[in-house]
Structure 1
Amino acid sequence: MDVLKPEIVLVDGRCYRFFDSTSWSQNRELGSYEEESFQATYDSDQEVCDGNIEIFAHSGGRYKHSFHVPRAIYPFIIGQRGATKKRFETETKTTIQVPKQGEDGDIIIIGADRRKILSARNRIDLLVETSRKKMPFTHFLSIPMNKDNIIRGFNQFKSEVLNKTAKGARGVNESIFQTDKKLHLTLDVLKLLDNEERKLAAKKLLACREDIIKPFLKENGPINIEVRGIECMNDDPAEVNVLYAIIVDKDGYLQDLSERIVDYFVEEGLIQRQYNRVKLHMTIMNIRFSKKDDDESANERMRETFDASNILKVHKNTFFGKTTLSTLHLSQRHTKNDSGYYKETEKIEF
């Protein structure tokens, strides 16, 4: 069925069919410079020219093209014992130069004519896109909710759950609660694999303040955020992975602005939308909070649950607090700054 319905990958407006091997799903943690099982089909007519690719004359009547790829992608381009790079060079009759392990720099393609260089570049672009999909998210756009009144409301909720509401309930303990100073709303997640991509995302956030956020607030006024009630991420309250507080957005302004912000980053290619709309919520309990990243596999963690039946019943209208939207962060996952919140690559205030 994979052959009949292969994954479709878009790279710079081109559409490719990608036949993924089951080896990816069986072994996600590849060692250094291990080859990805990779097959792709190409439309040669699309490889003739590309106005966005600069190709310059090189010595010996040949041509040269260089472009940036994050260092984390180098192992996929090289492959095990250089097999992927050699195959690309053979198929396109070019020479592909990749910076040495641990070094940064550009990928350089040298070939006898422009068509062959474009062919190699297109193959590498497709490999980069498919490889990137396998890599974890590194950053997220966050609205901090660690205000004093919301922290008090959260800690009161936490105390009541542990000492009364869910005392003795399966899987409920202090370790699965969010850290109060890390309370936040996530608008969407990003994969920023090197300093160049982080700089681009930071620049986009600063531009977003001027192009999207300030005009919106000028037209609609300040946005008030109320946190009231709780819900879970699944249908069975006795088998819960994540419990979150509900964001009350009566006029819909916060939802509207959040969609515009995410779309602004999508246009730059920094975010690939996973869902049709932003799900506004503040996570307060998550089974993953009790685990270290290296304790066990993500699949094992996702199979664990806790019983939130009585919590959902008792706290369905619990009030956590109110705040006014005033800042947006480009936050780094799995980090903590001096204040206890996530480290920011960039942040804006408005």
Structure 2
Amino acid sequence: MGDALDDVSEDSFRIIEVAGHQYRVFDSLRTTENSQQEDRHTSSGDDLVVPSTDSALFGHVDDDTTTQTDSNAQFITAEKAAISSCDVPNYFISIPMTDPALQKNVECLYSEIKSLPFCPYLDPFLIDTSKLHITIAMLVLNSESRVEEAKALLNSLSPEIDALIGDNELQVEFEQTLSSMQPNPSACRVLYAKPTRSTEKLLRPIADLILLSFMKEGFTQLKAFSPTKLHMTILNVRTASKRADESEATRGINVGPVLKLSHRFSVVRPKSIHLSQRHKFDENGYYHSVSKIDLAREKN
């Protein structure tokens, strides 16, 4: 692995701290060889964090500061994080975006979307406002014991999350225009609201801490660390495919007119981070919560 690291530029990674240990997280591998060498990076037994090859689904705001390498930094073995590919995520960690003002705001957006020419057919794909959220990590928990372990891990991260928030006021703001997860808006499968740059910079360390901690313990499908693309889904074709044409889930739909809308979203001051079960819901309509940690401002 020494040869591979020699080909990685110094600004392609950053140091983050988890549970008192430092980890070097690579944003990209700028090597002089082809992708076969990159595959060897992820499959070797050396302790190295490298990104997923599916870079289109992941990303983050570039940090303005440069972090120097710590010679004592520890690394995660890719094999430790590997899970059988046949396992499907059945739990997830999220920040609920269920503030009543935001829900009402998004309902108004939905009315705008359905009033556009050729867009009423998008209605089945719009996300129920009671389920709005920002996903942090998708988890595979296939036994009650694993669920309990995940709950304990999330709770153990609470002091570090509080420290990351510090004296900042934790609030979430979104850009006024929506974005398509797919580069071609006429073949969109996921439409989302993107956090503003200031929100991204505040949430990024928290999301990285949680994802890396759960990946280290083998709770995710990730074989290598890739920062989660922070977003609030507004429309998801695949999720709604059972209520509409199955083919839409594959080919996507045209959201071009929607991308031209400008909509001001309400500012959200999130109260908690949830560990929830997919496809099961609480009385309030949100995904069934098995555990949650309150955010710092709620503890004062």
User: TM-score category by the smaller chain?
Assistant: 0.5 to 0.7
Q: 1:12 to 1:268 in 2, by over 3 A?
A: farther
Distance in 1 between residues matched to 2:40 and 2:101, nearest whole Å: 51
Answer 1 or 2: which has greater strand percent. Answer: 1
Instruction: Tell me the secondary structure at the aligned position of residue 103 of structure 2.
Output: helix
Distance in 1 between residues matched to 2:294 and 2:111, nearest whole Å: 32
Structure 1: which 4+ aligned runs deviate by more than 3 Å? Answer: 5-13, 272-275
Whether 2:203 is the aligned partner of 1:203: answer no
Choose which of 328, 331, 335 in structure 1 pairs with 2:276.
331
Whether 2:109 is the aligned partner of 1:157: answer yes
Choose which of 138, 145, 155 in structure 2 pairs with 1:189.
138
Q: 1:289 to 1:308 in 2, by over 3 A?
A: same
The corresponding residue for 2:289 is 344
Choose which of 222, 235, 239 in structure 2 pairs with 1:285.
235
Choose which of 161, 164, 189 in structure 2 pairs with 1:241.
189
- Which moved further from structure 2: 257-266 or 186-195? 257-266
Distance in 1 between residues matched to 2:42 and 2:198, nearest whole Å: 39
Tell me how many residue pairs correspond in the alignment.
Answer: 222
- Structure 2 unmatched ranges of 5 or more: 1-38, 48-78, 296-300
Instruction: Tell me the secondary structure at the aligned position of residue 185 of structure 2.
Output: coil
Amino acid at match of 2:269: T
Higher Cα radius of gyration: 1
> How much has 1:239 moved relative to structure 2?
1.4
Query: Structure 2 length normalisation: TM-score?
Result: 0.66
Q: 1:248 to 1:306 in 2, by over 3 A?
A: same
> How much has 1:197 moved relative to structure 2?
0.4
The answer as to whether partners of 1:175 and 1:289 remain within 8 angstroms in 2 is no
Choose which of 248, 252, 255 in structure 2 pairs with 1:305.
252
Query: Structure 1 length normalisation: TM-score?
Result: 0.57
- Structure 1 unmatched ranges of 5 or more: 14-125
Larger relative contact order (Cα-Cα within 8 Å, sequence gap ≥ 6): 2
Q: 1:303 to 1:272 in 2, by over 3 A?
A: closer
Amino acid at match of 1:334: H
Q: 1:176 to 1:336 in 2, by over 3 A?
A: same
Cα-Cα RMSD: 2.9
The answer as to whether partners of 2:274 and 2:293 remain within 8 angstroms in 1 is yes
Instruction: Tell me the secondary structure at the aligned position of residue 175 of structure 1.
Output: helix
* Matched-pair identity in %: 25
Choose which of 102, 106, 118 in structure 2 pairs with 1:168.
118
